[in-house]
């Protein structure tokens, strides 16, 4: 299988991008950050939820019922995943991370649990760290109801984390919980150890995880 020698890391607002970069540097494995290609992917998927949401205002996204927001986020991930596969099919990227890396999508590819991990933040961690991101406040300033938009955003992502956890359990994929007690270097240590456990040596041609 063309994707079997990749390491897949998913879930939102958990530090997974930073952790992926740490692993990439440690192991000398090129890393693909799917979220960096979101707008390009949206332009390549006319008629999908992915292409639709790219044109929505902040309030159109976040001033809706939270369950609808969750449903849209999941569908966007399903729409984007085939485009991610197209990007990496012939590339040298070996670590693939992004919100659109959903457990059910990996399961459909037949990805083994030794090749992926879901980094899932607690709701308290999400609330604490999101406001520290420099791009969050400017986004909220665009809203007519910033407090409601913020609360909806947080509730949606909490539900999304729960969804990821349930799907990961369904397909037997490992989960690393992030509550802020470990440094991101320590989270990377844990992921590295987790992925190396019982992993066939034949799959470690680039480096040992």
Residue 82 host element (H or E): helix 66-88
Report long-range pairs for 154-159 (Cβ below 8 Å, ≥24 apart): 154/123, 154/126, 154/127, 154/130, 155/66, 156/62, 156/66, 156/69, 156/70, 156/73, 157/12, 157/13, 157/126, 158/123, 158/126, 159/66, 159/67, 159/70
Work out how many domains the chain is built from and give that number.
Answer: 1
In this prediction, residue 195 carries a pLDDT of 80
1 falls within a domain: no
For residues 136 and 100, give the distance between their C-alpha atoms in angstroms, rounded to a whole number.
Answer: 20
Q: Which strands, in side-by-side order, build the sheet including 95-98?
A: 31-33, 95-98, 7-10, 116-121, 175-178
The confidence score (pLDDT) of residue 124 equals 82
* Residue 28 falls inside a structural domain: yes
pTM above 0.85, yes or no: yes
Count how many Cα atoms sit within 13 Å of the Cα of residue 204 in the half-sphere of its side chain: 13
Residue 104 pLDDT = 97
CB neighbour class for 112 (10 Å; exposed up to 12, middle 13-18, buried from 19): middle
Range of the domain at 18: 7-191
CA separation for the pair 158, 193 (Å, rounded): 27
- Predicted confidence at residue 4, as pLDDT, reads 58
Residue 177 in tokens:
């919980």
Output the pLDDT for position 205. Answer: 32
Q: Which helix (H) or strand (E) holds 176?
A: strand 175-178
Averages of pLDDT over each 10 residues, the chain, 209 residues: 72 84 91 95 97 96 97 98 94 92 96 92 81 82 94 94 96 90 88 73 36
**Number of other CB atoms surrounding residue 134 within 10 Å:** 6
Query: Is 100 contained in some domain?
Result: yes
Which pLDDT score is estimated for 209? 35
Mean pLDDT of the chain: 88
CATH value at residue 77 = 3.40.50
> What span, in angstroms and rounded, lies between the C-alpha atoms of 79 and 77?
5
Give a yes or no: residue 205 inside a domain: no
Q: How many CB atoms lie within 10 A of CB 164?
A: 25
User: Per-residue pLDDT tens for 52-67?
Assistant: 999 999 999 999 999 9
Asked if the structure places residue 203 within a domain, the reply is: no
Radius of gyration of the chain (CA): 17
């Amino acid at each position: 299988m063309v994707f079997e020698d990749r390491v897949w890391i998913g879930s939102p607002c958990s530090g997974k991008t930073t952790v992926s970069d740490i692993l990439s540097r440690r192991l000398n494995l090129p890393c693909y950050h799917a979220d960096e290609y979101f707008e390009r992917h949206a332009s390549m998927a006319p008629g999908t939820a992915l292409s639709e949401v790219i044109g929505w205002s902040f309030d159109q996204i976040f001033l809706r019922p939270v369950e609808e927001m969750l449903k849209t986020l999941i569908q966007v991930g399903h729409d984007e995943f085939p485009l991610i596969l197209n990007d990496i099919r012939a590339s040298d990227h070996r670590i693939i991370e992004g919100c659109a890396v959903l457990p059910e999508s990996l399961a459909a590819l037949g990805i083994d649990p030794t090749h992926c991990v879901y980094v899932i933040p607690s709701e308290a961690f999400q609330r604490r760290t999101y406001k520290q991101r420099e791009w969050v406040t400017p986004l909220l300033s665009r809203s007519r109801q910033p407090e409601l938009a913020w609360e909806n955003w947080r509730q949606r992502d909490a539900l999304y984390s729960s969804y990821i956890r349930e799907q990961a359990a369904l397909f037997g994929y490992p989960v690393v919980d992030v509550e802020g007690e470990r440094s991101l270097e320590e989270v990377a240590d844990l992921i590295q150890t987790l992925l190396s456990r019982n992993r066939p040596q034949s799959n470690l041609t680039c480096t040992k995880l």
